[in-house]
């Protein structure tokens, strides 16, 4: 996964999660933790997505700590096929 901080194989800290992301622009690959709402599964994420409010379902990897000290999630894929 190019551009990602590799997850530690001995821990469960950074994992792939399903989430709803608040994203006014969908061209970013990193999202601050306060804009990412972790869900139980992809169905729940898709059901709670609301494009009119800039809320999109996605698979994300994280959390990771950025060089600025903030917790972030990396976008793996948009679940609606968007970019």
Mean of the per-residue pLDDT values of the chain: 88
* % the chain with pLDDT above 70: 83
Q: How far is CA 62 from the centre of its chain?
A: 7
- Per-residue confidence (pLDDT) for residue 69, from 0 to 100: 87
Helix (H) or strand (E) run with residue 69 in it: none
- Flag whether the pTM goes above 0.85: no
Nearest CA to 14 out of 56, 77, 72 is that of 72
Identify which has the larger pLDDT, 49 or 65: 49
End-to-end Cα, the chain, rounded Å: 17
The three-state secondary structure class of 6 is coil
Residue keyed to tokens 């096929």: 81
């Amino acid at each position: 996964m190019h551009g990602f901080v590799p997850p530690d194989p001995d821990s469960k800290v950074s994992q792939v999660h399903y989430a709803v992301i608040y994203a006014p622009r969908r061209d970013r690959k990193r999202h601050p933790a306060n804009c990412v709402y972790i869900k139980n599964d992809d169905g729940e994420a898709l059901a709670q997505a609301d494009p009119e409010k800039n809320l999109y379902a996605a698979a994300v990897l994280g959390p990771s700590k950025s060089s600025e000290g903030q917790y972030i999630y990396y976008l793996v894929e948009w679940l609606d096929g968007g970019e």
